[in-house]
Structure 1
Amino acid sequence: MPPRFIRKKTVALGAAVLVCVLAIMLWRDPMLPVRVSFAVQGWWIGLSEKRVTVDDHRWAYDEREAKQANAATVVMVHGFTGSKENWYPLAERLGGHFRLVIPDLPGWGESQRIAGADYGFDAQAGRLAKFLQAIRRDGSPIVLLGHSMGGGIVAITAADHPELVARVGLMDAAGVRFRDNVFGAEVLAGKNPFAVSDAASLQRYLDTVFHDRAVQPAIPWPASRAVIAWRIGQAPFEQQVLDRIGRSEERFLPGQAAAAIRQPALLLWCRQDRVIDHSAMALYAAQMPQALQVSLDGCGHMSIIERPDDVAAAVALLIKRGVPR
């Protein structure tokens, strides 16, 4: 048998084996392509994956060191149905200037979820405070940023633990009684406006949180199929959390707690936010008169993805100057 034929046969066999291996991996873990994509993005930005156990939960978080050892530590807290990867566009723009710590909240993403545990505003704020204690460093003040549900959690944490939080930023934050909209009405009716069960509802979800379709993340098949299946599996947990933060007695707790925030602060909203209406910013501002207020046009609920340059500029201003009360 000619050597050339043997080589071709070997290459073909190797390719067939590789295809089989990939098929088995995808069968076992359909979300693998999505996770690989996120891992590549994180590596490109310079983030390192970290794990830490605080009390009864294991936290997954990404970290990037600053060029200067005493630079501020910027901690970014994601929102409902979100994950640490939502912050990657902002992390790319802040990287190097500050130490970045971007966690998955307990119950979400790669962090641990415990059956029957409370993942509402107050319980998560308590966990976040202990996480900050675990990752903080002497000489590196903590700048705590929160988006959506994460903004409500951050507001409570900053109010209850001023010794941990030097500056606070709330982006499109939940936790106040904003002007009525479709999203709020569905939550009060016991529905999950973010629920995904098929391709149409996945697109509806994206259209709800993003104002501009051009910046929506591309989710081609078969990744879209995996995402839909994953979200279907998450539905009971999502409803449990949404009932807690959107319909229970603690749904407005963040706005009430915000009156105790004395640190320099940032409030940032997009005018076309269809989830947490832009009117929420004025309600938070009434409790936090020291806050720098930034309104952005042409973007929706995901300001941190749709307008990362503007968000980065606002955060940098908060860190460098602050706004005294």
Structure 2
Amino acid sequence: MKRGGKIAATTVVVAALGIGAVVAHDPYVLVRAHFERQRVRAGLGHAQVEAADHRWTYAFGDDAPADAPLVVMLHGFTGSKENWYPLAERLRGHYRLLIPDLPGWGESERKPGADYGFVAQAARVEAYIRMLSPGTPVVLLGHSMGGGIAALVAARHPREVARVGLLDAAGVRFQDNPFGRDVLAGKNPFAVSDRASLARYIDTVFHRPEAKPWIPWPASRGLIARRRADAGFEQAVLDRIGRGDESFLPGDEAAAIDQPALLLWCRQDRVIDHSALELYAAKMPQAAKVLLDDCGHMSLMERPDAVAAAVVALIQQGQPR
């Protein structure tokens, strides 16, 4: 082998060993790399901002016309901004997009002992919106826990929210199911500590087999380690949003939401039972109601085309065609 070829081969080997060492030390790097590929594929940018005394990390899409509506998307409990990427792919170019990791979650800042319940997060989201969309109300979408937060923001800060969409949203006393009973009993049904509980978590939030993410080893090891480390934080959040005084505050305050609204659920949701849709609808008679079939809690990932159509209808509601 020529000298140049030997150097090139040695470089490849050294690089591979270096990558292997990094993965061995922190296998979650594979999850982060996958998230980065998803973001690039969705055509989204990546940025950070300081708002409400926290550093926010967010994805954004700004390739729509400057006067296009701005859509802000809030993820759910144990979720992250990446959950919205399938929907973002369908909306980008038509609307401007902001997709944050909520404070405490994902890549955004978490402060020891801070409150990350519905009320505190709603105040932070309002500050985030004012900073990034000053003087211009947004279309606010929230999924699961993020739906409860979005309901409070829309009810309490109508000048910041032009339209609101609640997807499989928490914040009302829905019909009992195993997930809800476990939460009220002080458990975390989403807890992940090993491969079996990771599989159970995925089976709980997804309905369609083809929609369930495949997480190979060693990425699964990194994800399990991250979730195990977050166990205390997750329980503290559930204490506030799942079984504390503010558990049903979003539903109570939803009657103050006068903006055009969307309520979207999946019939096979095993987390927030679809009975929650009618509970919210009783407080928000102006809301369009969409109940999708053949999907579970992750409607935005399992049925992104149908969710995108519903969101577009919400945005265009009352606008000249």
- d(CA) in 1 for partners of 2:73, 2:67: 18
Further displaced range: 92-101 or 27-36: 27-36
- d(CA) in 2 for partners of 1:269, 1:34: 28
Matches within 5 A, 1:121-200: 121-137=118-134, 141-200=137-196
Further displaced range: 82-91 or 15-24: 15-24
Contact conserved, 2:263 with 2:290, CA < 8 A, in 1?
yes
Q: Which runs of 5 or more structure 1 residues have no equivalent in the other structure?
A: none
Instruction: For 2:38, give the aligned amino acid.
Output: Q
Counterpart among 212, 216, 221 of residue 212 in structure 2 = 216
Q: How many residues align?
A: 319
Task: Tell me the alpha carbon deviations over residues 173-224 of structure 1, each in whole angstroms, 9 at most, x when there is no partner.
Answer: 0000000000000001110000111111111000000011211111111111
Q: Which runs of 5 or more structure 2 residues have no equivalent in the other structure?
A: none
Does residue 18 of the first structure (1) align with residue 15 of the second (2)?
yes
Counterpart among 5, 29, 32 of residue 29 in structure 2 = 32
Could you tell me which residue of structure 2 aligns to residue 248 of structure 1?
Answer: 244
- d(CA) in 1 for partners of 2:60, 2:78: 21
SS at 1:294's partner residue? Answer: strand
Counterpart among 93, 115, 118 of residue 115 in structure 2 = 118
* 4+ residue segments displaced more than 6 Å: none
Q: State the identity as a percent.
A: 62
Shift of 1:26: 1.6
Further displaced range: 35-44 or 249-258: 35-44
Could you tell me which residue of structure 2 aligns to residue 294 of structure 1?
Answer: 290
SS at 1:33's partner residue? Answer: helix
Contact conserved, 1:177 with 1:280, CA < 8 A, in 2?
yes
Further displaced range: 59-68 or 76-85: 59-68
Instruction: For 1:234, give the aligned amino acid.
Output: D
State TM-score, norm by structure 2. Answer: 0.97
Does residue 83 of the first structure (1) align with residue 56 of the second (2)?
no
- d(CA) in 2 for partners of 1:159, 1:152: 11
State TM-score, norm by structure 1. Answer: 0.96
- d(CA) in 2 for partners of 1:55, 1:302: 28
Could you tell me which residue of structure 1 aligns to residue 263 of structure 2?
Answer: 267
Task: Tell me the alpha carbon deviations over residues 82-141 of structure 1, each in whole angstroms, 9 at most, x when there is no partner.
Answer: 000000000000010000000000000000000000000000000000000011055x54
Shift of 1:7: 3.7
SS at 1:166's partner residue? Answer: strand
SS at 2:119's partner residue? Answer: helix
SS at 1:276's partner residue? Answer: coil
Contact conserved, 2:141 with 2:165, CA < 8 A, in 1?
yes
Further displaced range: 288-297 or 217-226: 217-226
Further displaced range: 230-239 or 8-17: 8-17
Shift of 1:69: 0.8
**Aligned-residue CA RMSD in angstroms?**
1.3
